[in-house]
Amino acid sequence: MGSLRISLVFLCFYSLAFCLSVSGRPATFLQDFKVTWSESHIRLSDAGMAIQLVLDQDSGCGFASKRQYLFGRVSMKIKLITGDSAGTVTAFYLNSDTDTVRDELDFEFLGNRTGQPYTVQTNIYAHGKGDREQRVNLWFNPAADFHTYSILWNHHHIVFYVDDVPIRVYKNSGRVPFPTNQPMGVYSTLWEADDWATRGGLEKIDWSKAPFYTFYRDFDIEGCPVPGPTNCASNPRNWWEATSYQALNAIEARKYRWVRMNHMIYDYCTDKSRYPVAPAECIVGI
């Protein structure tokens, strides 16, 4: 984000700690995250700047940010499971940690049989309503190296990015549910889901290939921490609220169309068996 982060310096007078959090310093695991389950399956490296998640027959594992945030951008560099990963799911998501009115923004990386493409599923819950799945086959091998996965969330739209390529956009039209009031934490998990993850559950985990490893580094959280200054989430001077981030630019729009034309394999908007009438957010131009 470079110089864009400098625009947040005016917030520093609240406290040095707040300034560092909002201005987008590189997060470290110990400073910014906590283990949510199976600590023995999360291994730190590089002085806490990188971690490894482990899945075996005993357990998966997960972690979450220590704070919640209202609007902003979060990203992580992730290297997924190598080889045969069918039946596994690596998830990176935002969650309001509420029940019936849950807000949630999901990346779910669905494991594959060796040689098949990795599928990333995205989903959006707003005001407790989900079932908005889209699936894209990644156009590279995400287990060969680290790639950056990001979620941008502002008052205008939500954008899921793979590296610099937008793969999903959900607009706040004012006529559809949109997460605006509940802060969300940053979460990630590695777990067994072979009842549905690969080819609808037809492909099961081959435990002879276990343990399975997912690697993370370059954690980045830029947003309004809650609790924090009361005007932060509504401040139009936050970089993520700037005009240039209120819609895709021409280059991003071209990349977005390319993904949808060449790599999208499922879209709830066109699933007539589930939605005989397309949901409102799916209507072009809404």
Q: What is the pLDDT of residues 10-28, one digit of tens each?
A: 333 333 333 334 445 556 7
Share of the chain above pLDDT 70, in %: 90
Torsion angle (degrees, nearest 10) of CA 150, 153, 158, 164: -30
| pLDDT band (50, 70, 90) for residue 126 | very high
Strands 61-79 and 212-226: what pairing? antiparallel
Query: Who wins on pLDDT, 274 or 24?
Result: 274
Q: What is the pLDDT of residues 210-244, one digit of tens each?
A: 999 999 999 999 999 999 888 999 999 999 999 99
User: Mean pLDDT, to the nearest integer, of 78-92?
Assistant: 96
Q: With 80 as the cut, is the pLDDT of residue 63 above it?
A: yes
Q: Which domains does the chain have, with CATH numbers?
A: 27-273 (2.60.120.200)
Q: What is the pLDDT of residue 190?
A: 98
Q: With 60 as the cut, is the pLDDT of residue 4 above it?
A: no
Residue 72 neighbours by CB distance under 10 Å: 24
Strands 50-55 and 134-137: what pairing? unpaired
In this structure, what DSSP letter does residue 51 have? Answer: E
Q: Of 39, 108, 133, 241, which is the active-site residue?
A: 108
Q: Of 39, 104, 192, 252, which is the active-site residue?
A: 104
Q: With 80 as the cut, is the pLDDT of residue 1 above it?
A: no
Read off the pTM. 0.90
Least trusted range by pLDDT, from 8-17, 72-81, 92-101, 263-272: 8-17
For residue 279, is the peptide bond before it cis, meaning its omega torsion is within 30 degrees of 0? no
Annotated catalytic, 192? Answer: no
Q: What is the pLDDT of residue 163?
A: 97
With 0-12 / 13-18 / 19 or more C-beta atoms within 10 angstroms meaning exposed / middle / buried, residue 99 is: exposed
Q: What is the pLDDT of residue 6?
A: 30
- Quote the mean pLDDT of the chain: 89
For residue 227, is the peptide bond before it cis, meaning its omega torsion is within 30 degrees of 0? yes
Name the residue among 55, 62, 58, 59 with its Cα closest to residue 85. 55
Share of the chain above pLDDT 90, in %: 77
Annotated catalytic, 222? Answer: no
